[in-house]
Structure 1
């Protein structure tokens, strides 16, 4: 048997038949692709009834058609809600500080009133 034969190196490696491509695979046609658009620096991709928008480093989803709030609107409302909650916490803290100041002021008033009452009683007892 020759060293270099038609079947490979000494018959050790056999020639393989080239594979035939799959026949039933449909290649996408340009009219089947979902449109991708670039509007105002934002990339928009339409997938079925949803529209995905890449803007400011975030992918947001917009519902196609004229229905309800978009994800961008929901995100904006959530940020506003967080801001209002923080403002509410600050106002509660300020109210607690004011109540503490009122309590100290009231305690000072009561203390001075008691001291004044003591002085009046002490003066009356000295006058007798």
Structure 2
């Protein structure tokens, strides 16, 4: 029994096989650039028979029609929604002012 000797000697692990599971290494350079390159193009998808693409941070219909509504019609509807939101905010402000006025006109209770 060695007093100061090294008694721990682990087994060496076998080396890994270098065979690739991918067949991309068999392709020529131009094909690999197309498969793995940085030019992916615009993302597209098809939902309910309608083709959509992702441009400028929004999904737009490739045919110019989104959900059966023309792009100009969609913009008109967005403007109308904006107008109605502003009108709603104005009406809320008027209601708040009227409530304040009514509460100011209410007589104070008699302290007796």
On whether the aligned pair clears a TM of 0.5, the verdict is no
Name the TM-score, length of structure 2 as normaliser.
0.39
Greater fraction strand: 1
| TM-score normalized by the length of structure 1 | 0.34
| Larger of the two Rg values belongs to structure | 1
